[in-house]
Amino acid sequence: MTGPPLLDRRLCFVLGKGGVGKSTVAAALGLLGARAGRRTLLVEVAARRRLSRLFAGAAIGADRPTELAPGLFGLSIEAERAMEEYLDMQLKVRPLVDLLVKSRAFHSFAAAAPGLPELVTLGKIWELATHVEDGRPVWDVLVVDLPATGHGIALLEVAGRVHELAASGPIREQSAKIAEVVGHPAATGIAVVARPEELAVTEATEAVAALREKGLPAAVAVMNGVCARRFTPEDVPVLEAALAATPDGAAATAVRAALAHAHRERREQGQSAQLAEGVDLPVVELPELITARMDLDGVGILAGALGASPAVAPAGTRVAG
Amino acid sequence: MNLGPVLAGRRVVVVCGAGGVGKTTVSAALALGLAAEGRRVAVVTIDPARRLATALGMAGLSDEPRRVDPAAARDAGLDMRGELWALQLDPKATFDRLVTRYAPSPEARDRILANRIYRHFSGTVAGAQEYMAVERLHELVDEERFECVVLDTPPAQNALDFLDAPERMGRFIEGKGLRLLLAPQTKAGRLGWKALHAGSSMVLSLLERLTGGQLLRDVSEFLQSFDGMYAGFRDRAAAVRTLLLSEEARFLVVTGPEPEPVAEAVMLWDHLAHDRYPVAAVVVNRVHPLPPEGDPDPAALAAALTAAGAGDGAHLAGAALESLQDARTVGRRDHDDVAEIRRTLDDPPLATVPALPDDPVELAGLARVTRELVTA
Ligand SMILES: Nc1ncnc2c1ncn2[C@@H]1O[C@H](COP(=O)(O)OP(=O)(O)OP(=O)(O)O)[C@@H](O)[C@H]1O
Ligand SMILES: [Mg+2]
């Protein structure tokens, strides 16, 4: 493992295939950071309201951080708003900003300059991560819930790309600074989330390879939604024999459920092995929670599971899982 | 529900929905079903799982259609009366082809293809992937090689991005304001811009201050190189829109039984219906079946398991009962979610696909999904 535990890095990104549980894992990481006494900011970039739902509907603000739990704050970043903030910061003169924002030319530039929305979004994240007040950083940890793999990687690598493209000007310098932080394993860590399913594991493996190739610090892989370990391989023939003896009725229903579970366990072990081999990173397994709805209690349980991993928990805070 | 009649005779089936719900699987399974029924079908997918790609005969990356081996389909238990062709969308290749087709001259074409901005971003720019999916669809329908094209829409941040893509792309290519601004050396540019906006030189110098002159020049060159292509793009976009709004097309909205995808599916459905797209049915993928009612007596189950050879029958019975309980919780949750969609959308045509024990990444697995969708 290169680099400190994930939550000892100021910038933690959560990446993965659509629907694998990125937002849930991001929320759990945020909660874990806050529990460890870190001032933690949970950031969502493509306003999907999932985080709000997890935190009992606390509307996550776009203009200022909302407190979601003790020590845990949430912020939603929108590209358009981030763009205006960026211009404000650069030009420092409001009428100039208004002039730009109102001009059609600027909008076609914004639409044509590829990667600009990503750049201002990442720039905003960087700004939050490096923001200092009264001599100390405002946030100890930022946990960023990224959009699904392709779009997520595009966001992570945008600073490096723009730096290559821009020969001069503030944009070049700024993107260089951002790229340096985002590429540095002491400052940034990326958690790649998968589920024990072929597509998700393949996508996670490819994502990690892509991150390595682009010099972006993948820190840990998370296998989310792993079913409970209940059966041994020896149980399977017993269950099959019981089903053959009594193929109908309530007992058979229970035995069928048991067999389905046992098979799933076996399949998932295969997927876990494949993930571990494919990503060559520490892998943290998170249990599938069987509830009608994921809620804050559920996120708390997942935070506990993440906290048991030395690759994730801040140094000195790991609790035996 | 059997989607066969809903899709009969349509030339285009657009499969949309939130990310991660199984659009690719549903698209491929549907195409397989339509082909089995005797039609010549092409399925355009994005990022299939490798084994699915192999099963569909697309092992090598290609955005040219390849025929799925009919013998393989037969082995998977399907009576294949038509033809199934599959291709994987390659946004960059499609974009290049488009440039080649619409560039006013070979020099203009080479200039675009060599432009640094184009090379860096043509795969990702402003909804290019979504747009290219639409574009490829148009090409395939135009060729008239296939009786039906099934389109798996790309994973977008927002499922609606797909519909706006042609328009956004058009705006991007057009980039009028900016081109006038950036071409002050030409007389027309100067005059045009003056007439448009008095603060022009101010805007230009602000942009220059921020980006450095060279990036701005590259972007401007990039945009200028599209000069003369806009009309072609615009006509295509209009043609695709007409096709998608016509009776020849059908939209399917795919979702999983979970709050976010369901919310997105409902939004998508309403939006499609509002804009008069022919939205035909909802597919709820990966629904866990509800086990039959009635729990067994734990002692009796333990005895039965002991009789079947268990070392610790009571323990195994406990584990089996837990698994049954889990299956009930999950089955009830999914059942409620499906009911919720029916209620919210006022009982739409709706097909469900059960959660299969294995990801359907081989033709045989796909054929199981097919049977749920077109023959059930
Ligand atoms: N460990 C878990 N146990 C049970 N359910 C889970 C678990 N992790 C996630 N889920 C559920 O899976 C669904 C998808 O999770 P989530 O929204 O976090 O995924 P995502 O990767 O952020 O999705 P998207 O790509 O749409 O943003 C949610 O309904 C969530 O409650
Ligand atoms: Mg999410």
Q: What is the pLDDT of residue B127?
A: 63
Judge whether A237 lies within some domain. no
Task: Please identify among residues 208-227 of chain B the ones whose CB lies closer than 8 Å to any CB of chain A.
Answer: 208-215, 218-219, 222-223
Q: What is the pLDDT of residue B73?
A: 85
pLDDT (mean) for B259-284:
91
Lowest mean pLDDT among A218-227, B123-132, B147-156: B123-132
pLDDT (mean) for A97-108:
76
Q: Do B155 and A237 touch (CB under 8 A)?
A: no
Q: Which atom of ligand 1 is nearest to the CA of A16?
A: 21
Q: What is the pLDDT of residue B180?
A: 58
Q: Which of B209, B211, B262 to mutate to test the interface with A (most CBs of A within 10 A)?
A: B211
pLDDT (mean) for B43-64:
75
- Closest by CA to B353, choosing from B17, B8, B10, is B17
Residue A269 above 80 pLDDT?
yes
Q: Does residue B190 belong to the interface with chain A, where contact is any CB pair within 8 Å?
A: no
Q: Is the CB of A286 under 6 A from ligand 1?
A: yes
pLDDT digits (tens, 9 = 90+) for A165-207: 887 788 888 999 999 999 999 999 999 999 999 889 999 999 9
Total domains in chain A come to 1
Q: What is the pLDDT of residue A308?
A: 96
Judge whether A143 lies within some domain. yes
Residues of A in contact with B49 (CB under 8 A): 198-199, 202
Dihedral angle, C-alpha A43, A49, A52, A58, nearest 10 °? 110
Q: What is the pLDDT of residue B123?
A: 59
What's the CA-to-centroid distance between A48 and ligand 2, angstroms? 7
Residue A37 C-alpha, separation from nearest chain B C-alpha, in angstroms: 31
- At residue A81 the predicted structure's pLDDT band, cuts being 50, 70 and 90, is confident
Q: Among positive and negative, which fits the CA dihedral A282, A287, A292, A294?
A: negative
Q: Does residue A238 belong to the interface with chain B, where contact is any CB pair within 8 Å?
A: yes
What's the CA-to-centroid distance between B38 and ligand 2, angstroms? 40
- At residue B285 the predicted structure's pLDDT band, cuts being 50, 70 and 90, is very high
SS (HEC) of chain B:
CCCHHHHCCCCEEEEEECCCCCHHHHHHHHHHHHHHCCCEEEEEECCCCHHHHHHCCCCCCCCCCEECCHHHHHHCCCCCCCEEEEEECCHHHHHHHHHHHHCCCHHHHHHHHHCHHHHHHCCCHHHHHHHHHHHHHHHHHHHCCCCEEEEECCCCCCCCHHHHHHHHHHHHHHCHHHHHHHCCCCHHHHHHHHHHCCCHHHHHHHHHHHHCHHHHHHHHHHHHCCCCCHHHHHHHHHHHHHHHHCCCEEEEEEECCCHHHHHHHHHHHHHHHHCCCCEEEEEEEEECCCCCCCCCCHHHHHHHHHHCCCCCHHHHHHHHHHHHHHHHHHHHHHHHHHHHHHHHCCCCCEEEEECCCCCCCCHHHHHHHHHHHHHC
DSSP state of A68: E
- At residue A25 the predicted structure's pLDDT band, cuts being 50, 70 and 90, is very high
CATH code of the domain containing A55 = 3.40.50.300
Residue A320 above 70 pLDDT?
no
Among partner residues A48, A168, A245, which is closest to B260 by beta-carbon distance?
A: A48
Q: Is the CB of A289 under 6 A from ligand 1?
A: yes
Judge whether A23 lies within some domain. yes
pTM: 0.89
Q: Do A238 and B124 touch (CB under 8 A)?
A: no
Name the residue range of residue A195's domain: 6-230+282-307
pLDDT digits (tens, 9 = 90+) for A106-158: 776 676 666 788 889 999 999 999 999 999 999 999 999 998 888 899 899 98
How many Cα atoms sit within 13 Å of B179 on the Cβ side?
A: 16
- At residue B187 the predicted structure's pLDDT band, cuts being 50, 70 and 90, is very low
Task: Name the E strands within chain A.
Answer: 11-16, 40-44, 66-69, 72-76, 132-133, 136-137, 141-145, 188-194, 218-226, 283-287
Percent of chain B at pLDDT exceeding 70? 85
Q: Does residue A154 belong to the interface with chain B, where contact is any CB pair within 8 Å?
A: yes
Q: Do B210 and A169 touch (CB under 8 A)?
A: yes
Atom 11 of ligand 1 has which residue's CA nearest to it?
A: A21
Dihedral angle, C-alpha A29, A32, A36, A39, nearest 10 °? 50
In this structure, chain B runs to a length of 376
Residue B165 above 60 pLDDT?
yes
pLDDT (mean) for A99-107:
75
CATH of B3-174+232-290+338-373, picked from 3.40.50.300, 3.40.50.10540, 3.40.50.720, 3.40.50.740, is 3.40.50.300
Give the other-Cβ count within 10 Å of B304's Cβ: 25
Q: Do A238 and B204 touch (CB under 8 A)?
A: no
Give the other-Cβ count within 10 Å of A110's Cβ: 19
3-state secondary structure of A135: coil
Q: Which atom of ligand 1 is nearest to the CA of A193?
A: 21
Residue B8 C-alpha, separation from nearest chain A C-alpha, in angstroms: 31
Residue A159 above 70 pLDDT?
yes
3-state secondary structure of A25: helix
Q: Do A114 and B324 touch (CB under 8 A)?
A: no
Q: What is the pLDDT of residue B191?
A: 46
Percent of chain A at pLDDT exceeding 90? 65
pLDDT (mean) for A248-270:
96
Ordered by start, the domain boundaries in chain B are 3-174+232-290+338-373, 298-333
Judge whether A257 lies within some domain. no
Residues of A in contact with B214 (CB under 8 A): 166-169
How many Cα atoms sit within 13 Å of B254 on the Cβ side?
A: 28
Q: Does residue A283 belong to the interface with chain B, where contact is any CB pair within 8 Å?
A: no
- Identity of residue B28: A
Q: Among positive and negative, which fits the CA dihedral A308, A314, A315, A319?
A: negative
Range with the largest mean pLDDT of A28-42, B2-16, B22-36, B170-184: A28-42
pLDDT digits (tens, 9 = 90+) for B119-151: 776 655 556 677 777 888 888 988 889 999 999
Residue B321 above 90 pLDDT?
yes
What's the CA-to-centroid distance between B33 and ligand 1, angstroms? 31
Which of the pair, B98 or B314, is modelled with greater confidence? B314
Write down the mean pLDDT value for chain A.
90
Q: Does residue A291 belong to the interface with chain B, where contact is any CB pair within 8 Å?
A: yes
Residue A261 above 70 pLDDT?
yes
In the structure, ligand 2 is a single-atom ion and the residues with CB under 5 Å from it are A 22-23, 50
Please state, in angstroms and rounded to a whole number, the distance separating the CA atoms of residues B106 and B104: 7
Residues contacting A244, CB < 8 A, separation 6+: none
Judge whether A316 lies within some domain. no
